[in-house]
Structure 1
Amino acid sequence: MTEPTPQDELLRLDKVKKYFALGTAPWQRSQSVKAVDGVDLVVRRGETVGLVGESGSGKSTLARLSTRLLDPTAGRVSVAGQDVTRLRGRRLRPVRRKIQMVFQDPQASLNPRQSVGTILTTPFKAQGIRPTRAQLVELLSQVGLSEEHLERYPHEFSGGQRQRIGIARALAVKPDLLICDEPVSALDVSVQAQVLNLLADLRDELGLSYVLVAHDLAVVRQVADRLAVMYLGTIVEEGPASEVYSSPAHPYTRALLSAVPVPDPGAVRDRIVLTGDVPTPIDPPSGCPFRTRCYKAEDVCATTRPVLQPVAGGDHRVACYFPEPPAPLELSNPPLSERTP
């Protein structure tokens, strides 16, 4: 992968790990959940990175590590070239101006006792700023809401409108990077398209960068420039979204893409069905974390964990000893915007 200059980097994760200790009896061996286990990731200025994988793969934990809502167990988190791994309290305030988060459930992330005006004022107060009403109205206008909504409460809005309020709150301090943790998973398809189109418009208008966490690959396909596929706390494939979608190299990525629904009842798909259960992150397999479910696994896969290596010398990288040949995998589902009634 071409190395970005420090001026181009908005976020860099170097060998980041996050282990959650489990409570055990004194006579038992201490255990921990290895939610994120040695992830390297770079987000450049002006790009949208899609972070995909099954539930429990560590996507949301990685998002919270990126925004420093969680402290990493090991590794380094850098924002705009500054190492912020050990910053806390007031020293994190400048970082919050550069990177903000949009949460998955807008109803849970908005205080039901506060009006929209109070919710939007909170980020300003955290930075020691007293906003004007005009600034709050401008924020609502950017996400397609109006001044009359300032006095209303979250329960008075639909799910899509609540997510727009969450986006407006994240935009309050004019960040360069938004981490969106499955921002449309709780919405129906037509509203998903509206919110995704809004994010795309804000990216063009404000020059934002995104990390878009999702388990729906059709959602990510609509907006992502680059794709990172996670499995059991590690990134197993990364590259330009067009290349990963058209020619997935990791067996896990091919299985995910083969499961994407096609809006044609008569279509014949080469479905790849994985066998076995997802291993527990408390005791992950040795070597390649995917080997227990992989149809191409051999003895070497059990000894040493593969690292991300370029595919055909490009920006497309895969962590696999036996990557798939570059044969395109057909996907006929259109982007969400084209499926909107």
Structure 2
Amino acid sequence: MNNTPEPLLTVRNVTMTFPSRRRRAAPVRAVDDISFEVAAGETLGLVGESGCGKSTTGRMIVRLLEPTTGAITYGGRDISHLGQRELRPLRRDLQMVFQDPHSSLNPRQTVARIISDPLLVQGSSAAEARKRATELMELVGLIPEHIDRYPHEFSGGQAQRIGIARALATGPRLVVADEPVSALDVSVQAQIVNLMQRLQRELSLAYLFIAHDLSVVKRACDRVAVMYLGRIVEIGRKEQVYAAPAHPYTRALLSAVPLPDPAAERTRERITLLGDPPSPAAPPPGCAFHPRCPKAQQICRTEAPLLRVTGPWEERQVACHFPEAA
């Protein structure tokens, strides 16, 4: 008998294709047949270069975008193609924190209105929504008396705390955090990551943590999924991925992360990838990474590798014909 609890979120063979803005040009496949799961109370990090499809994946999960193919299942229910009326009650459980705190907050509204809006949409009274907004201000480390100020009166870190408070207003179970600290100073980044981890413990939250900074992901996440040109090329527990990266792309990303030890930084191997990522409108045949891969062979140019278990860990999967030995 299988006693493994059902995942909170399941993404299966999801693809997102956008029509090209140019006439007769090929459509852009931003996300290409990805699959992963997020358990209740877990943080899954989604990492990769700009343009690899991370943010598009996050927007599909909270249904700001409708996937072209595949299935997104939340709490055992397929939400891939629900209409707006069916999505409204579901949005209590699925919320998003955006990358740029100031551009994601309405400059014409007070903080009270910004945090209260999700509750008002869900049917709360104005008095109830304001009371909840005040509680959330305190929960995220802001002064409740500042609730009637406007976003421009707050620093970047404070504005991101407001964005987090807004995401928590409806009591979600899953929060998609799209580059939540990349626009902030390094010292402020640590504060926001600490805040998110505390809130996760107190509120039993699950996160999909989208980022390109692997040092932040290592601190914030339980598992890591690495994306390249719309596909997941490696996924596993962070200890496995960071200690023994199996995909050449993962190894290259990790080699670019600065080390705190100057001696180790000077002597370690740096992997430099040649060329630029291919266009998602015209991906190369076979493995999408083969034009930049130092290990590419003929099979890589003709046959796309599938995610499969690699090494001694059952949780770690790699899409590579010649993965590194653990």
Give TM-score scaled by structure 2 length: 0.95
1:107 is aligned, of 94, 99, 102, to: 102
Q: Is residue 53–residue 229 contact of structure 1 (8 Å, CA) maintained in 2?
A: yes
Deviation for aligned residue 1:78: 1.0
2:174 paired residue number: 177
Within the alignment, does 1:19 sit opposite 2:17 as a pair?
Answer: yes
Q: Is residue 154–residue 162 contact of structure 1 (8 Å, CA) maintained in 2?
A: yes
- Secondary structure of residue in 2 paired with 1:286: coil
Deviation for aligned residue 1:23: 2.9
Letter in 1 for 2:320: C
Deviation for aligned residue 1:189: 0.6
Percent identity between the two aligned chains: 54
2:148 is aligned, of 148, 151, 162, to: 151
Please give the per-residue CA displacement for 1:57-101, whole angstroms capped at 9, x wherever unaligned. 110011101110001111111111110111121210122111100
Q: Is residue 227–residue 244 contact of structure 1 (8 Å, CA) maintained in 2?
A: yes
After TM superposition, list the pairs within 5 Å mapping 1:185-224 onto structure 2: 185-224=182-221
Letter in 2 for 1:216: D
Please give the per-residue CA displacement for 1:180-224, whole angstroms capped at 9, x wherever unaligned. 000000001100000000000001111111010000000000011
- Number of equivalent positions: 320
Q: Is residue 120–residue 129 contact of structure 2 (8 Å, CA) maintained in 1?
A: no
2:138 paired residue number: 141
Runs of 4+ in 1 over 4 A off after TM superposition: none
1:284 paired residue number: 283
Q: Is residue 4–residue 44 contact of structure 1 (8 Å, CA) maintained in 2?
A: no
1:263 paired residue number: 260
- Cα distance in 2, alignment partners of residues 4 and 270 from structure 1: 43
1:330 paired residue number: none
Give TM-score scaled by structure 1 length: 0.91
Deviation for aligned residue 1:146: 2.1
- Cα distance in 1, alignment partners of residues 112 and 274 from structure 2: 50
After TM superposition, list the pairs within 5 Å mapping 1:83-122 onto structure 2: 83-122=78-117
Within the alignment, does 1:33 sit opposite 2:28 as a pair?
Answer: yes
- Cα distance in 2, alignment partners of residues 287 and 36 from structure 1: 16
User: Which region of structure 1 is more displaced relative to structure 2, 191-200 or 122-131?
Assistant: 122-131
Specify every segment of 5 or more residues in structure 1 that has no aligned partner in the other structure, as ranges.
327-341
Q: Is residue 55–residue 215 contact of structure 1 (8 Å, CA) maintained in 2?
A: yes
- Cα distance in 1, alignment partners of residues 161 and 281 from structure 2: 37
2:318 paired residue number: 318
- Cα distance in 2, alignment partners of residues 79 and 248 from structure 1: 30
- Cα distance in 2, alignment partners of residues 286 and 269 from structure 1: 33
Letter in 2 for 1:19: T
Deviation for aligned residue 1:258: 0.4
Specify every segment of 5 or more residues in structure 2 that has no aligned partner in the other structure, as ranges.
none
1:48 is aligned, of 37, 40, 43, to: 43
Q: Is residue 226–residue 233 contact of structure 2 (8 Å, CA) maintained in 1?
A: yes
Q: Is residue 221–residue 241 contact of structure 1 (8 Å, CA) maintained in 2?
A: yes
1:233 paired residue number: 230
- Cα distance in 1, alignment partners of residues 163 and 9 from structure 2: 22
Deviation for aligned residue 1:30: 4.0
Q: Is residue 79–residue 95 contact of structure 1 (8 Å, CA) maintained in 2?
A: no
- Cα distance in 2, alignment partners of residues 108 and 277 from structure 1: 29
Q: Is residue 104–residue 183 contact of structure 1 (8 Å, CA) maintained in 2?
A: yes
Deviation for aligned residue 1:4: 8.7
Deviation for aligned residue 1:158: 0.1
Please give the per-residue CA displacement for 1:15-48, whole angstroms capped at 9, x wherever unaligned. 11111101333xxx34111110111011011110
Deviation for aligned residue 1:287: 1.1
